[in-house]
Amino acid sequence: MMKRYFNTLIEIIKKPEMEILPGHLAFSLIISMAPILTLFVLVGAFFSISADSIINIISQTFPKEVSSLFIPLIEGSGFDFNIGFYLTVGFLIASNGLYSIILTSNALYKKQSSTTLKRRIKSLVLTFFLLCVFAFVVIVLAFGNYLIKLVFGLFVDQEAILGIYKVFVLMKWPIGFIAVFFTVNLIYALAPDSLIASRYTRKGALFTTISWMIVTAIYSYYVSHVANYDIIYGSLSSIMIMMIWIFMLSYIFIFGMALNASNYEMEINNTNNENKKGNNNK
């Protein structure tokens, strides 16, 4: 049984999709960081957090080379037509990653593809879901401890802040697990043009969620305890680590999708074989 399961994993790793899609999806996620930042700024404005505070958080959280790309979106002239056009184009480019996932899901599940327009609309919707879960992983799981210290550091009552911080550290992983699992499971089920029952996507969603948690915990530890942006080339190495982290998230996501398709095919084949045996017995 274990040998069969191991062989299945090897077959999944050897699939052409595993060589192409993770890099494509990782590129889409990197492009999507601008829309994610826009959402972060809007939420900050809703809670009356000044732009200077947001700029300070970004500057202290991300490497200098990364923060220098995002800060112009906040300061200066603000969100004018050029910025809005840039964000719109960035979101559309980011949706190409999900468009490829839809096409791949149809191939893996052997489903007939719908029209291009329907797939484009679906890719935009699924991109929104993926951006939400990606933003959650970045803001809450990867940088949550660091960000909450910066935000609540603006307040005076340090004892209350310490209590909130402890609750946050205790609850972020269980809540994060639930949020990521249901969102990823939803994307896996909706990606093919023919809806896949949730029972066929849970294993892949569970694998993706657990793997994301482990990889993100390692990356979060690196950001909090290892990364030093003041050392020469420190920022460059941090960018490389961040890109590797995003690529690993993408690879795990595609692997989970391929794992679902493999389990789906096995269960369908087993069901067909049982039906044939039943008909032969009659």
20-55 residue pLDDT tens: 888 888 888 777 776 666 666 666 656 556 666 666
Is 5 in contact with 100 (CB distance < 8 Å)? Answer: no
pLDDT-above-90 percentage for the chain? 11
In a domain, 282, yes or no: no
Exposure on the CB side of residue 201, measured as CA atoms within 13 A: 23
Whole-structure pTM value: 0.76
In a domain, 61, yes or no: yes
Other C-beta atoms closer than 10 Å to the C-beta of 3 total 7
Is 114 in contact with 82 (CB distance < 8 Å)? Answer: no
Query: Radius of gyration (Cα) for the chain, nearest Å?
Result: 21
Least confident of 93-107, 139-153, 210-224: 139-153
What was the pLDDT predicted at 216? 86
What was the pLDDT predicted at 31? 76
In a domain, 261, yes or no: yes
pLDDT averaged over every residue in the chain: 76
- Give the count of domains, the chain: 1
Q: Tokens representing 125?
A: 């919707």
Higher confidence at residue 211 or residue 59? 211
In a domain, 276, yes or no: no
In a domain, 46, yes or no: yes
Confidence of residue 77 (pLDDT cuts 50, 70, 90): very low
In a domain, 238, yes or no: yes
Confidence of residue 237 (pLDDT cuts 50, 70, 90): low
Least confident of 6-15, 125-134, 156-165, 222-231: 222-231
Q: Tokens representing 122?
A: 């679906």
Residue 217 three-state SS: helix
Using the predicted structure, report yes or no on whether residue 202 has a pLDDT greater than 60: yes
Measured over the CA atoms of residue 248, residue 259, residue 28 and residue 189, the dihedral's sign is negative
In a domain, 28, yes or no: yes
Confidence of residue 5 (pLDDT cuts 50, 70, 90): low
The residues, any chain, with a CB within 8 Å of residue 12's CB and separated by 6 or more, are 18, 255, 258, 259, 262
Domain of residue 189: give its range: 18-267
Distance CA 185, CA 165 (A): 30
Distance CA 226, CA 201 (A): 36
DSSP 121: H
Higher confidence at residue 131 or residue 126? 126
In a domain, 107, yes or no: yes
Axis crossing angle, helix 116-136 with helix 158-190, rounded to the nearest 10: 160
